[in-house]
Amino acid sequence: MPGPNNSQPPVAWRYSGNQMKRWRTKANISREQLAEAANYSPDTIKSMEQGVRMPTPRVLDVADELCRAEGLLSAAKDYLLRERFPARAQDFMEREKEAISRWSYEVTYVPGLLQTESYARALIENHVPPLDDAMAEERVVARMARQAILTERKPPVGLSFVVYEAALRNPQVDADQLRHLLDRSRLRNVALQVLPFERAIPVALMGPMVLLETRDHERFAFAEGPLMSELSADPRVVSLATERLSMIRAQALSPAESARFIEGMVDRQ
C-alpha cells in the first residue's frame, strides 16, 4: 500500500489498473471472470483496477490473454518493477542499477544482497504494518532480483559489505544463511567483513548506510531507518558517510578473518 508520505497511490498503479479495466470492459470480460482466471478475489481485482493495489505480473498476463490486448497490458510489468520496493527506497534502487561500486554497513540484518530467499521471506512476511500476500511475494521476488548485481554486471560491480555481529546473531539467521554468506564472499568482486561486538565503536551504533558511485562517477550516500530514509548527493553528506564507514571498516575483521569467524558460527549451529 502507499506509504504515509504519499497522498495517493503511485501513478503506475493507477494507470495500469485503469488500462486493465478499459481492456476488460472492451472485451466484455466480467471482473469475476478475470478474478477466477487469475486466482484472485473480485475485490482484489477491483482494488487493482482502482489503483489502490499494485496490479501483479500474473493478473496483467492473464488479463492480456483474456482481453486479447496483444501484449499491451503485459508491457505494464516493466513500469511496475520499481513499485515493488517501498516508495522511500525507490530512488536508491534506481541508483543501485547504475552503480560501479557499492560499499555498505549493516547493523541489524544480513544485507539484502546477501540474503537467502528463506531469510528474506521471513523478514518481509513479518513486516509492520503487515503486507498482503501478493505484495509480500512481490517484495521477495524483487529482493532476489536485485542480487543480480553480484554476478551479472559487466564489468563487475565492486561490492564491500561490513556486517555487525548482532546481525549474524539474529535467531532467523540459520546455518544455510551463514553458508550463503561464505559462498558470496568468495566472489572476486565481493569483500565481506564482520565487526565483532568487542570492536564496536560509537559510530558503528548509529545505524546502517550505503555508499554508491555510478557510471557517471556521481557519489551518493543512503541511510535507511524504520520511519524515514535519505538518499543524498550532497558532497558534505557523502564525505561524512565515507569517513564514518572508513572508521568502521578499519575496526572490522579482515575478509579472511571474517570468513573464519562465520565458519566458526556454522560449526556451532
Other beta carbons within 10 Å of 9: 19
Residue 214 included in any domain: yes
Same domain, 217 and 195: yes
Look up the CATH number of the domain holding residue 211.
3.30.870.10
Residues 83-140 pLDDT 10s: 555 555 777 887 898 899 999 999 999 999 999 999 999 999 998 888 888 888 888 9
Spatial contact of 143 and 115, defined as CB atoms under 8 Å apart: yes
Residue 5 included in any domain: no
Q: Using CA atoms, how far apart are residues 197 and 168, in angstroms rounded to an integer?
A: 11
Same domain, 108 and 216: yes
E strands within the chain? Answer: 99-106, 158-164, 190-195, 209-214, 219-224, 229-232
Residue 237 has pLDDT above 90, yes or no: yes
Residues 184-221 pLDDT 10s: 999 999 999 999 999 999 999 999 999 999 988 899 99
Q: How confident is the model at residue 227 (pLDDT cuts 50, 70, 90)?
A: low
Same domain, 36 and 106: no
Domain holding 255, by residue range, is: 85-115+149-268
Look up the CATH number of the domain holding residue 72.
1.10.260.40
pTM: 0.70
Same domain, 64 and 27: yes
Query: Residue 27 phi/psi, 5° resolution?
Result: -85, 5
What 8-state DSSP symbol labels residue 243?
A: H
Residues 148-170 pLDDT 10s: 999 999 899 999 999 999 999 99
Number of domain units in the chain: 2
Residues 9-56 pLDDT 10s: 677 888 999 999 999 999 999 999 999 999 889 998 998 999 888 888
Q: Using CA atoms, how far apart are residues 119 and 15, in angstroms rounded to an integer?
A: 33
Residues 46-94 pLDDT 10s: 989 998 888 888 899 999 999 999 999 999 887 776 555 555 577 788 7
N-to-C CA span, the chain: 38
